[in-house]
Amino acid sequence: MNLGIIDYGGGTLQSVRNALRCTGVEARYVDSPAGFAGMDALVFPGQGRFDDSMAGLHRQGLVEPLREWIAADRPFFGICIGYQALFERSQENPGVAGLGVFEGEVRKFAARPGLKVPHMGWNRVRLSHADGAAWQGQEVDPYFYFVHSYYPAPADPALTAGITDYDGDFVCAIERGNLIATQFHPEKSQAAGLALLGQFVRRHGGGLE
């Protein structure tokens, strides 16, 4: 299996690559349009600012190849900023356009006394399709690891794959066709995260049995 990790000049690339090794795949970094050739699946990980991430994608010519990849329903896994960038815009940087794959806005947790922002640590995920192929091997309402101050609010509720409660419910995972994207970090989520990454890899032709 040829698995690519989108390298836009930031993010948690090495930790994701290490996690993918545990699933039996040696992923390669994709940092130019030419790098998409021959890939079977892509992972877009990240951590950091929305504007910096989009600037990196534009600088390296990755915006249109990514849009085309996703439009063709080729296997894609977005993590954290790789989830947020799929939407039209973010409250973090008004005026900066996202990839616009899905309608919706990335919103910030509302500041209030007693609420810690960023949302950091383990939290429960209520799965919308717990019996779906992507989530095989997960416990009921599994725990995953989060580090974020912003979260997408998809306009289309049919995208929802997982919901987490942090001062109210937010959509922490989406699915459509061969695309999955999560606000939590599977590479930091121990057994549950490795199971999710491993299932993605196996569904698309690679990894350990």
Could you tell me how far CA 73 lies from the centroid of its own chain?
15
The active-site residue, picked from 80, 119, 148, 175, is 80
Could you tell me how far CA 4 lies from the centroid of its own chain?
14
The active-site residue, picked from 172, 175, 187, 204, is 187
Torsion of CA 200, 203, 208, 209, to 10 degrees: 130
**181 — phi, psi (to 5°)?**
-150, 145
| End-to-end CA gap in the chain | 13
- Look at residues 63, 66, 73 and name the one whose alpha carbon lies nearest to residue 97: 63
Could you tell me how far CA 39 lies from the centroid of its own chain?
18
Single-letter residue type at 3: L
41 has which bridge partners?
Answer: 3
For this structure, is 185 an active site residue? yes
For this structure, is 172 an active site residue? no
For this structure, is 204 an active site residue? no
The active-site residue, picked from 172, 185, 204, 209, is 185
Catalytic residues: 80, 185, 187
